Amino acid sequence: MQLWRIDLAGATGLHDRFAPLLTHAEQLQASRRRTGRVQEHFSVGRACLRILLGNASGLDPLSLTITTRVHGKPQLSHRNGPRIAFNVAHSKDTILIALTRTGHIGVDVEYFDRSTDIMEVAHHNFTASESRSLAAITDPQARVKTFYRYWTRKEAVLKADGRGLIASLASFDISFESVTLHPVRIAESPDDQGKLFFVSDLSLGIEAAGAIALESPDSPVRQLIFPLSRPW
């Protein structure tokens, strides 16, 4: 399992370099976004995803067909050879791309926003137990960090499941402590056995929380930095 990090802080002029690696439809998508940082981040993220999928599959990145599942999660078409699951997360100047050949995968990253009313957000999105644990933290900085750890773990699980935020963040509990391969079961209905995912915190070295969710506990995560300076 590979987790690639793309650091866009201070990077400029990348849109023109990476746009040729996009399909015509993706270039149109980029053109509809606000010129500047938003457009550039979309182009770089999608181009890097194609490069990584091309390397993993041994195929021309532009020949790959990326489709969407019923709830909008992108996936690589089965026509592109052996199955490779992937997931992408983006917050500010950081993009994460996770790839695996074993089961489904979800990844999330969120920079700390101390202007957010986190208890109000938690009240509407977390379980009662999680909200109580968060409210019991008296140190404001620790409370913010814990909130974002909860959020990224939950989003990673829902993204691995494939329903994203269509499913409720409050439909399952997540561990209060730091986690590594913490098992989480998520079901679509009370009668459903559900799916089991294993969620781990990511150490990113930035003012952000990150988490990854896997179907298999036997898939070690290899963290890598994407070399933007390379002449793709």
Give the model confidence (pLDDT) of 32-50 as tens digits: 988 888 999 999 999 999 9
Does the domain spanning 107-214 belong to CATH 3.90.470.20?
yes
Give dist(CA 141, CA 114) in Å, integer.
8
The predicted model gives 165-174 an average pLDDT of: 84
Does the domain spanning 1-103+216-231 belong to CATH 3.90.470.20?
yes
Q: Where in the chain is the domain with CATH 3.90.470.20?
A: 1-103+216-231, 107-214
First-residue to last-residue Cα distance in the chain: 23
Predicted TM-score (pTM) of the model is 0.93
Choice between 217 and 89, residue whose per-residue pLDDT is larger: 89
The predicted model gives 146-162 an average pLDDT of: 94
Give dist(CA 192, CA 87) in Å, integer.
25
Choice between 78 and 139, residue whose per-residue pLDDT is larger: 139
